[in-house]
Amino acid sequence: MKRALHPEQPATFSFSTEMKARADRIIAKYPKGRQQSAVIPLLDLAQRQEGWVTKPAIEHIAAILDMASIRVLEVATFYTMFNLSPVGKYNLQVCTSLPCMLRGSEEVLRACKDRLGIGLGGTTPDGQFSLHEVECAGACVNAPVIAINDDYYEDVDGAGAWKLIEALKRGDKPTPGPTNGRDASAPIGPPLTLTDLPAPPAVQDFAAAKAAFEKAKAEAAAKAAAPKT
């Protein structure tokens, strides 16, 4: 997966008063001579301020920490949590590493593409949603996983991904964590032993969720177009 800076960049960057105060507090936590260890949290602050990590932000952080810009760029391009291009209000990051893939992340990714009408790396025309593929969200026991901004949604299937997007479109805030009712990472159902074979994952049917949504949309349109009495 290619990680490169966006071709269009702002002219300058500087931390806001609030973010500068937070950056100073973070840097002060490190021993003298070890301030460069603050590079990741400072990149995070820059992203929270701007929505993505820009080249001027990288250069600004390098100057603050007395680092070569290339070293800050190496960090920014290594970690997929840093957005190197502008993203939508809701940044959907679908994990497609092996555990998530075995549990159906392809269906999750397909549902997101179908519902949003965009491909990987794309942003919807209204600027509300972006879609990205990431390697290992670090919640393998609850695979498949979608990270939406700072929140993790776990045990997601195709239909579940569709419902998450619909909730966000309505302005709702879905509860982070498992979406199938499990308690954190506890087993679903009775405990298993090493001699028990777990049931294979069910085939995910997000097409049914899509059909239900399209039906509801058509009914709402017909109701709106009906003559008022």
pLDDT digits (tens, 9 = 90+) for 135-153: 888 899 999 999 999 999 9
- Domain with 32 in it: what CATH number? 1.10.10
Residue 173 lies in a domain: yes
Residue 49 lies in a domain: yes
b/e 55-84 (16+ beta carbons within 10 angstroms → b): bbbbebbbebbebeeeebbebbbeebbbbb
Q: Which of 168, 192, 164 is nearest to 178 (CA)?
A: 164
Residue 46 lies in a domain: yes
How far apart CA 223 and CA 28 sit, in angstroms, is 61
How much is the average pLDDT of 38-45?
97
The pLDDT of residue 224: 79
**Structure tokens belonging to residue 171:** 């302005």
Residue 176 lies in a domain: yes
Pairwise pLDDT comparison (80 vs 154), residue with the higher score: 154
How long is the chain? 229
Domain interval for residue 33: 17-78
- Domain with 210 in it: what CATH number? 3.40.30.10
How far apart CA 154 and CA 185 sit, in angstroms, is 10
Global pTM value: 0.74
Q: Any idea which of 51-65, 159-173, 206-220 has the lowest mean pLDDT?
A: 206-220
Q: Same domain, yes or no, for 128 and 213?
A: yes
pLDDT at residue 2 is higher than 80? no
Number of domains into which the chain is organized: 2
